[in-house]
Structure 1
Amino acid sequence: METANEKKTNELKVKEVTKKRFESTAFIFQNIPLWIASCVIGLLAVLYAEILHFGESTFLKIYAQNKAWVFVLAPVFFFLSYISVQKYAKYSNASGIPQVIASLSLPKKKSKKLIDQLLSVRIIFIKILSSFFMSLGGGVVGREGPTIQIAASVLHVVNRTIPDSWPKISQKLMIITGGAAGLAAAFNTPLGGIVFAIEELSKNHIKYLRTTVFSAVIIAGFTAQTILGPYLVFGFPKVDPDGWQFFLILLLVTLVCGVFGAYFGKIAFNVNKFKKKLSKKKQFIFGFIAVMAFATVVFYTDKDSVGAGNLLLDRLLFEADKKVEWYTIPARLFNGIISFTNGGAGGIFAPALSFGGSIGAFIGDLFTLKSRQINMLVLIGMVAFLTAFTRSPFTCAILVLEMTDRHSVIFYMLVAAWGANLIANRIDQKSFYEKTAELITKDLLSQLDPRDKNKSKKVEENLV
């Protein structure tokens, strides 16, 4: 016969087992929508990549036949990109990363309606359409930042659609997870997606990230990889970092890219700020003058001055021709500013990598280095420029590491990321993303009632 104590102990054990089973079942049900949505993110990332690739290749084919077509294609498609955003979803403009950061900074009570302006089905469609127009116009824009906003929109919409009776993951955690999954699917870099979530998006949400981010990153990345195969964006370049003299040149590339990357972000932000002060009519006139200047530069240079820059990096890393003309770097930087501040959709991750890569190749050519050493400087330039622009050194180093599979030079990549971050912070304490996210948040908070605005002052103080 059982004693009273033994009976009580057995009852407690049964309750504990029942509780664990319930928690396990609840966890599975809670994550089912996340896993399904992550598959959707992977599919959208692949579709989006193909759409922009088609747009860029179409522009290049027409441009190769007659350069003068740029004076037609650029104004028409830049305008269509701009007007589609302004008319249907104004927060689908540019990269999308500041919008995701802003959505995580809004007050809980009033955030639902405000976040819907930043992350929604409409945002997804307009983001894809507007950036497609930019690619048809030869715009120097990428798809990685937009993919992050698209992915965050998918998970946000799914989370809003789930009935209250279903166990839910928190709204902000779903947004962070979407951003990480989007970057992982866009670049085929699962570690980069996880580090990006921790370094750029999570801030006070790190302790909740483990299961949701890992599962979403794996599923979204695996879905994209299943369709496209186990590819690397810039796979297996041959590198040679030997010698202390070469290390000094590496530091020079880091310095130059750190300065250029920081000022690129600063100029882009100030151009956007200036345009915002103008009337709609003056904005249109300013935009037309800018796009005609873009077309003129493209007409008098070559194909290296347009597009996301993947084709340029492929040539620099894998072909014998590693020559970067003297005009390529200023032309790409100028066209990048015009494209990124046009008012349409389009990211800057891929262009920033190409800016840094071309600077590295140019400096390598000045010192008449060997092919493998130039490859190394291209990678260092990629890391340094992207770090200076984003101020996310670990994310940038891990991204380039995963895209190229060059684990043997991770130390040099970290040195470049660390150095570029220090230089950029001396030039401007906040990145383009941080400052733009602050403006978006303030703009959204201004829509609240006066009583709600008082409650939101702490949010603005936290942002600052």
Structure 2
Amino acid sequence: MSITGRRWTMRRVRALIRHTGPTSLIFRRRLALMGGAILVGLAALLFARAADASSEAFDDIAGQWPWLPLLLTPLGFAGIAWITRRYAPFAGGSGIPQVIAATRLPEQIGGRLVDLRTALLKVALTLAGLLVGASVGREGPTVQISAAILARVHSVLQVPLRASVMVAGGAAGVAAAFNTPLAGISFAIEELASAYEQRMTLLVITAVIISGMVSLGLAGDYVYFGVVAAHLPLGSAMVVALFAGVLGGLSGGLFARLALAAA
């Protein structure tokens, strides 16, 4: 091989290292996605366990002192509301609207709406709410904390924050917390991405698979919502589904009109 050939080969190797090596944007972007998805799976699973423990603790309190919730619950609600308004105004609500808004302008306001400190405080306040008897779901907080984790990992690795990153984070959190990979992908399409772009597909699916594998590896193939043993014949089920769909649509539309009128 000639000297010119060796020089060209070394030049190509150095260019390839710069393009895909450890310091390249491509490598850091992949590392941020995979590492962030692992952290999302761990955080979602820990949050799920902590939420169940908080709910069980309130049940124990109510069982031992039946009258205590009459004092504990309203005082707890007031304290949680005060802390939220005083220290973390972006932690109010379910957390899903914050992530949706952050996907619209990820560079401008995404960092504030899915800030890791705010999301951690939201988790703590959600657990406190469950501990005092609040009827709080953890889907929204899981979405916000998951998007915040993935966004922070991208920030640490100096990877530009895109809307698809927060969409993937929220979907991965739902998939890991409830052991529902398909639900995580559907949630990303229906709730977080108003216009689900094709380039998001690989990002979302990768994050969902990695976080789901972490959850399955630690908690096993569990069914979070339980199994319904009741069943109906196909003919009866079709009649019930039709009746329930019509009744649900009418009642939902009526409730929406009443809510808009009251507002």
Residue 73 (str. 1) matches residue 64 (str. 2): no
CA distance in 1 between counterparts of 2:83 and 2:259 reads 21
Q: CA deviation at 1:28?
A: 4.1
**1:175 is matched with which residue?**
166
Q: CA deviation at 1:267?
A: 7.0
2:28/2:157 contact within 8 Å kept: no
Q: CA deviation at 1:260?
A: 4.8
Q: In structure 2, which of residues 138, 142, 145 is the aligned counterpart of residue 150 of structure 1? A: 145
2:29/2:154 contact within 8 Å kept: no
Runs (5+) with no aligned partner, structure 1: 1-10, 275-464
Q: In structure 2, which of residues 92, 116, 122 is the aligned counterpart of residue 121 of structure 1? A: 116
CA distance in 2 between counterparts of 1:187 and 1:269 reads 32
Match of 1:30, as an amino acid?
Answer: R
Q: CA deviation at 1:265?
A: 6.8
Q: TM-score, normalised by structure 2?
A: 0.82
CA distance in 2 between counterparts of 1:169 and 1:269 reads 39
Q: CA deviation at 1:241?
A: 3.2
Residue 134 (str. 1) matches residue 123 (str. 2): no
Map 1:397-412 to 2 at 5 A. none
**2:48 is matched with which residue?**
49
**2:205 is matched with which residue?**
214
Q: In structure 1, which of residues 175, 183, 195 is the aligned counterpart of residue 186 of structure 2? A: 195
Q: CA deviation at 1:87?
A: 1.0
1:198/1:206 contact within 8 Å kept: no
Map 1:58-97 to 2 at 5 A. 58-97=57-96
Match of 1:73, as an amino acid?
Answer: L
Match of 1:232, as an amino acid?
Answer: V
1:81/1:129 contact within 8 Å kept: no
CA distance in 2 between counterparts of 1:113 and 1:152 reads 16
Residue 242 (str. 1) matches residue 233 (str. 2): yes
Structure 1 pair 270–84 and aligned structure 2 pair: CA distance change class (3 A): farther
Match of 1:221, as an amino acid?
Answer: G
Structure 1 pair 135–169 and aligned structure 2 pair: CA distance change class (3 A): same
1:78/1:133 contact within 8 Å kept: no
Map 1:105-116 to 2 at 5 A. 105-106=104-105, 112-116=107-111
3-state SS of the aligned residue for 1:59? helix
CA distance in 1 between counterparts of 2:210 and 2:130 reads 28
The count of aligned residue pairs is 250
Percent identity, aligned pairs only? 31
Structure 1 pair 52–243 and aligned structure 2 pair: CA distance change class (3 A): closer
Structure 1 pair 224–191 and aligned structure 2 pair: CA distance change class (3 A): same
Structure 1 pair 262–161 and aligned structure 2 pair: CA distance change class (3 A): farther
1:194/1:217 contact within 8 Å kept: yes
CA distance in 2 between counterparts of 1:69 and 1:231 reads 34
CA distance in 2 between counterparts of 1:257 and 1:101 reads 26
Structure 1 pair 28–228 and aligned structure 2 pair: CA distance change class (3 A): same
Runs (5+) with no aligned partner, structure 2: 1-7
Q: TM-score, normalised by structure 1?
A: 0.49
Match of 1:115, as an amino acid?
Answer: G
2:171/2:187 contact within 8 Å kept: yes
Match of 1:77, as an amino acid?
Answer: G
